[in-house]
Chains A and B, each alone.
Chain A
Amino acid sequence: MDRVAVIGASMTEFGQRDSWVMDLLAEAGEACLDDAGVAPHEVEHLYVSNMASGEFEGQTGVMNALAHDLDVLPAYSQRVDQTSSSGGAGIYAAWQSVASGASDMTLLVGGEKMTHRTTGEATDVIASITHPVEYKHGVTLPSFAGLTARHYLERYDAPRESLAKVAVKNHRNGLDNPHAQFQKEVDLETVMESPIVADPLRLYDFCPITDGSAALMFCPESVAEQYTDDYAVVTGVAGATDTHVVHEREDPTVMGGVVESGKQAYEMADLEPEDVDVAELHDMFTILEFLQMEGLGFAEPGSAWERVEAGETEIDGELPINTSGGLKSKGHPLGASGVAQGYEIYAQLVGEAGDRQVDADVGLACNVGGFGNCVITTIMEAAE
């Protein structure tokens, strides 16, 4: 089977944008066509990752609207919604479309417009994914993070500062990302003294609300070679689902979807966690970086905080994590985030990451929907 290559990528500036969702999607989509050197009429499948444009701004049918706007007609088009992991699910859908032989050129664009809503309204749109017995109690994703962080810190006797160091690290990485929402360094004291949001977690333990879009272009490797010598190959991709009701999980510190999708992606790529050179993890909350490190085999259960304390996940460390600044610094426009993770891994593998460039041949992205409810893990390798 021909392997699936990524031959182009783009992302808009993330942050508070004047543009609405269709403009954001078009901006990233057009830039990706340019980056890949692909003409609109060559696109055979178009996937649009988006969680809630209907709820946020009353815009539905985004896949058809974007297909027309980019003039990729009559390409097959489909919207992909898997909550916060819509972008990762879009990568999986795009990979399937090429790997199956259904498409020889697939464009994936992810995007979301959120900042025109108040924090409370945006939080409620996201919290509507919860079970009714959770929702009626006012349970939000940040509150799940607070509940889990307390359990983790108490159970493993981890210092509260270790979570803050994730925020400090990712903000420092975001300084070198021109697309990041926050290009601002924060120190440990600032994080530890910021307002409590869901104790023990504070403001700087949480990602912001963000507008933005990102895109990737997929094709068979045999086709990729007609466009460029510098491309990446998707060698592993898998998705898995955990319980809808979060408190029903046997171990609150284990995200089953992360474990299972990671296991399948490693098997498909015939790689081990030790083979990964750079990773983008879904740090919507700092505690999630710990849980994904452990679920993906980068650390033993209860020990991710030790690797962070040792500086091993810094950009010059043994395993750089979230060189883009992560969701924490780069921002989290729901449907775009998984695609933007793919953008960062692609950029690292083809040597286009600028000041954040690390030495990497294998990159992994883990995109989490809900509080670990749906997870997509993708492994890319640099073309030989």
Chain B
Amino acid sequence: MISPELSETEAIERAKQGDAECFEALYGLHKRRVYSLCLRMTGNTAEAEDLTQEAFLQLYRKIATFRGESAFSTWLHRLAVNVVLMHLRKKGLPEISLDEALEPQHEDGPRKDIGARDNVLAGSIDRVNLERAIESLPPGYRIIFVLHDIEGYEHNEIAEMMGCSIGNSKSQLHKARMKLRDLLKLSRAERAARR
């Protein structure tokens, strides 16, 4: 008989022994964060569900190798990120194309449209609109932004995971934020026009 309440560490140890209920309990504890990560990185519900499934299957296949050097959630999260990136690479990389960051674009260079005090974003956007704007980002920008600004990975970690230079990671993050700024200002203007 399993205790109705169990620490995560105990659940991990029991899952290593093949305890079905502990597998399910670990899934219940982490599914939301893993699925949200997959959804934010892919922008596609069906893909996010498939990738969540694959991430947890890999987790369970490898759980015996988890030694606790890092937090379980950190380990799982990194695993999930790698599953998503591998999936996108298999799709032929356009989803995570670094070319978007490396090729000169019209939005490069100094911005001329900024300066008016009433253009400041602070205080005028909320998280719902920010989520929508993130969904609208080009995939290459979105992945770097999600990994760095939402999930808290450092540029050196992103560069390692993405197979790019640290400079590329910084450049793409900057462009993602600039694009978000444009999207949020547009969203704000549209909301104002509806009133």
Tell me if chain B binds chain A.
no
Interface on A for B, CB 8 Å cutoff?
none
Interface on B for A, CB 8 Å cutoff?
none
